[in-house]
Amino acid sequence: MIQFSDEAREHILRFLEEDSAADLSVRLRVANPSPVNPQYEMLLIEPHERESTDEVQDADGFEVVIDPESARILEGTRIDWVDSLQGGGFQFDNPNIKPLGSEPLTGPLADRVERVITERINPSVAMHGGAVSLVDIRDNVVYLRMSGGCQGCGMASVTLTQGIKQVLHDAVPEIVDVRDVTDHAAGEDPYYSAAK
């Protein structure tokens, strides 16, 4: 079941009123279920755009149409409306896609990864003014964030694939992958800047 806040419902009803087409419903879709940057789509659709496999939910004033895979991922999601300087938008609070780093990291695997980062990786990248921090571990995939000289560095992907991954795989073999979730575009003091 998907829940809508009163404000979200009001906005959807207003969009439906403003559209001249008849018998519109709201299609929800999970465009990208990544925990790094989950993406959802909300579209007004006409009856002929429904699929026979779609699940349909009554949302008190309008119908919500969802493909089966999205319905599975969206189960229990609450949709709210959030105002912002850009004009506001819908916000999905999905218990099935928890953003990375939203829960405290505990357990022996996280401890071992933290120790490798602290004792082997960070002393080395510090020589380039950088630092690496553990953001999350999901299904034995490690998510890292780079900062300082590593953030925005033209060689950050080399540091990741040719250094960090290898060190972590050697020390913690059950790790299946290491992913960088750094916002490199926001880096202000990269050790190497791309040019030419």
Partner 1 sequence: MSEPAARVLLLLASNSYKAEDFLGAVGDLALRVTVGSDHEAALASEAPGSTLALDFDDPEASLDRIVAYHETEPIDAIVAAEDEGALLAARAAAALALRHNPPAAVEAARYKDRARERLSAAGLLSPPFRSYPARADPERVAAAGPIPCVVKPVSLSASRGVIRADGEAELAAAFRRCREILAAAREEHPGLHPERILVEGFVPGAEVALEGLLSGGDLRPLAILDKPDPLEGPYFEETLFVTPSRLPAEDRAEVVRTTERAARALGLREGPVHAELRINERGVWPIELAPRSIGGLCSRLFRYRSGVALEELILRHALGRSLPDPDQELAAAVLMLPTPRAGTLREVANLEAAAAVPGIEDVVISVPKGSEVVPLPEGHRYLGFLFARGETPEEVEAALRRAHEALEIVIE
- Provide the edge-to-edge strand list for the sheet that holds 3-4: 3-4, 78-82, 89-93
Question: Does 159 sit near partner 1 (CB under 8 A)?
Answer: yes
List 124, 134, 147, 179, residue binding partner 1 (CB under 8 A): 124
> How far is residue 112's CA from residue 110's CA, in Å, rounded to a whole number?
5
Contact of 102 with 108, CB cutoff 8 Å: no
Nearest approach, Cβ of 54 to partner 1 (angstroms)? 27
> Residue 93 is which amino acid?
D
Site membership for partner 1, residue 127 (CB under 8 A) = yes
Choose among 106, 102, 30: nearest CA to 68.
Answer: 30
User: Is 129 strand, coil or helix?
Assistant: coil
Q: How far is the CB of 161 from partner 1 (least distance, A)?
A: 5
Q: Which two tokens stand for residue 46?
A: 């006409």
> Which of 3, 39, 140, 193 touches partner 1 (CB under 8 A)?
193
Radius of gyration of the chain (CA): 22
For partner 1, which stretch binds (CB under 8 A), given 13-21, 22-30, 61-69, 117-125?
117-125
Minimum separation from the CB atom of position 26 to partner 1 (A):
22
User: Which residues would be at the binding site for partner 1 (CB under 8 A)?
Assistant: 86, 120-121, 124-125, 127-128, 130, 150, 152, 154-159, 161-164, 166-167, 185, 187-196
